[in-house]
Structure 1
């Protein structure tokens, strides 16, 4: 059976959310969208900024987060359409 693009994206999203810190990030971004790495780091308090940046990159690559760059900052938002399709638990 050949994997479809939809299945490949689902695997990426589930892998991203399978890490507890990434799940916390997704839940934080559900509550307050458009957050930069340093603000998320302050809220999580237990994650180094370099590690947090890696988590955010993985989540963005999975399609779960969207990002926009403003100066030297990158602001992240949970893509609610993608979350509704693959991880509706996040939106409860």
Structure 2
């Protein structure tokens, strides 16, 4: 899980992940998402980091690579955040009663 959140800590990666996650077809060709303000080799580097972290899957079709959000990634991140929030809430100090 730490690798997933670490990968998303980079602003370019979060933009790429968001573009793929919100793409109408559920997947995006690298040609559809490369306009994030960095060079194409840098886009490839960031996409590789997102794949290595388990956030994306990819499939080559001819000369293009298509990316999808890894099916289990959003649910796993949400579960961790929900569990962490519950844990923090359960262990939060209670405010003293007003007098």
- Could you list the structure 1 runs, at least 4 aligned residues long, displaced by more than 4 angstroms after superposition: none
Aligned partner of residue 83 in structure 1, secondary structure = helix
Aligned partner of residue 24 in structure 1, secondary structure = helix
* Greater Rg over alpha carbons, structure: 2
Going by fraction, where is helix more abundant, 1 or 2? 1
Aligned-residue Cα RMSD (Å) equals: 1.8
With normalisation by structure 2, the TM-score equals 0.70
Higher relative contact order (CA 8 A, sep 6+): 1
Alignment of 1:1-92 (within 5 A): 10-32=1-23, 33-42=26-35, 44=36, 46-87=37-78
Aligned residues: 78
- Show structure 2 runs of 5+ residues with no match: 82-99
